[in-house]
Every structure is written in C-alpha cells, then in structure tokens.
Amino acid sequence: MDYVNFGSVGLKVSQLALGLGFRGQKSKDEAQRVVEHAIDRGINLIDCANVYGMMDSRENSGSSEIVLGKALKGKRDEVVITSKVCSKIGPEPNDNGLSRYHILREVERSLKRLETDHLDVYLVHGFDASTPLEETMQALDDLVHSGKVRYIGCCNFAAWQVCRALWISDIKSLTPFMCIQNRYNLIHRKLEDEMFGLVREQGLGVMAFSPLAVGLLSGTYVPGQPPPAGSHWGRSDRSLDELFQGASGEAVTTLIDLAKEIGKTPAQLALAWVLSQPEVTVAITGGDTTQHLDDNLGALDIELDDTVREKLDTVSEAFVKNPVDI
C-alpha cells in the first residue's frame, strides 16, 4: 500500500479509503469484519458520518460509528478516521444543520459512539444556507483548538462555497478546510468544471466518493441486460435502461470492454481512472464484502496506458457538464 499526503498537509493516507455508508451487510458483526479486513490490508483512512447506519437507514443513524469504534479497539493510532455533521438525524428543529449548537452537540455524540477522544478529520456534510458560514467556521476552529478534531473539511460544497469558507478562515485567522469530499466518477465529472482549479490553487485534498457510481461501474450491471436478482439496482425503483441511455450506456460498455482487454475488472479500471486524476487524493470504496474490497484494492496495481486513458476520457467527456445524477 502506498500512502500519500492528504492535500498539502503532512497527514499520510492510503489512496483507497473505506466508506461506511453500509448497504449490503446483514449484521454489525459482518460490517465490523469488513472494517477490520480493510485495516489489515493497509487501508488507514475510514470515512464515516453521524448519519450513517446499517442499510443506510436514518432510523439507525450512528450505528456505523458504533461499528467503527469496535473495530478500532487496539488500532486507533493506526487509523485516520472521519465523521460528518449537518444531515438530519432526528425530528427536532436543531437536529440538522451547521449551527454552533448542532456541531458541538453532534461531535460529542460521535466521539462517544466511536469510543475515542478525537476525530482526525471532521467534515461538514453539506452547505447550510440557514446558518452564517462564519458561525460554522468558528465552531469548527474551536473544536480544533480543543483537541477534539485534528483537521476539517467539507462535503458536497460548490466551488464558490469552498472559496468563501477559505476566505472567512483567512480574514478571521481560523482553521481552514484542508479537503473536500464530492462525488466523482466516469459518468459524473462535474468537479472538473470549477472545483479542480480551486483545489489545485489552494492545495486541498480531494476525497472522491461514489467512484463506482453506486455500482453502475462495477461490471455487475451491463447495458441492455436486466440487473441481477437481489442486487442494489435490482431492488431499486429506478430503471437501468433509463440510466444507461445514450452516453452513459456507451461509457459503461467501453469500460467493460477495456477492462477485459487489459485483464482487470471494470471496478478496478474505474477506480484506477479516478485515482489517475492528479487532483484526487483518495477514492472512497464502499465494498460490502471482503471480496469486493480485495477486488477494489487491485486498482492500485494499475498504471493506465495512455490509449486506455484517452478512450475513457473521450467516452465520458459529456459528463463534465451533464453528470448522471444518482
């Protein structure tokens, strides 16, 4: 496993992170085994959130943090962990958002579930237009100075929102964001439009989530064929035929064909393409089983041939301006 600097800070992380938005595990024990296997294989970055739960159910918010806390027993100092705050976790008016009240309350709950005294990276999970950004950045800065948080970042922000947050941190001498976390994959390349220029200029790390487009780029789903029974998209109300219309179907077919040509799986090639972008620090894999995780780790052995890279770039070019929204 190779480790890289997280953006421009000195923190070293694995290029693949394990994301704990669990879907396929049947029990907490099974989920814990996946986390432990990831750590054993050298993954040292685990991405979590206060809203994540087994089967990604809001009724089970926080259960992913509990699973992670148990898996970290005796290994806490070996692993970089994230958690997040903003998403709705209950019915009360202050059960979401980025107010000082909500942030300071939720960090304590996350630390308790994780059975740790600090978070390595605390991420705001989205932009909260109802709270002044100055209030949010001051609360996060206080957490850093208290020792409960080491670094801060943001998820799902637009480039102008990241830029404004950095400006506030600069003029008020507050801790700045050191990374962003946004969706990025072959059929969702929106980050290239504005964000990549900003992160290059500001030295921010990029955590790419959904690098396999919720499995659409894993090779499990083939344009023109029904989804396997019992699979995620087999259970979904959305039609695969609709999702694979036009350019997206062509991109997936090209990915599958190229992976076969080079003797790799489509998932490995899709991940390798994401990681080949110089702006991307980490791709977050959400493997439901140890087998899925091991397959994804094979992406780290791929050095993309210029011809393969060009074919993938070309077939997915439309998704810079018109990403597939899933």
Catalytic residues: 52
The tokens of 223 are what?
A: 């344009």
Strands 149-155 and 282-285: unpaired
Q: Are 255 and 312 spatial neighbours (Cβ–Cβ below 8 Å)?
A: yes
179 φ, ψ (degrees, to nearest 5): -155, 160
**Which residue type occupies 62?**
G
CA distance 120 to 79: 9
Q: Are 155 and 125 spatial neighbours (Cβ–Cβ below 8 Å)?
A: yes
CA 59 to chain centre: 21
Q: Are 25 and 31 spatial neighbours (Cβ–Cβ below 8 Å)?
A: yes
137's enclosing H/E stretch is helix 133-146
- How crowded is the C-beta side of 138, counted as CA atoms within 13 Å? 10
Nearest alpha-carbon partner for 73 in 108, 32, 13: 32
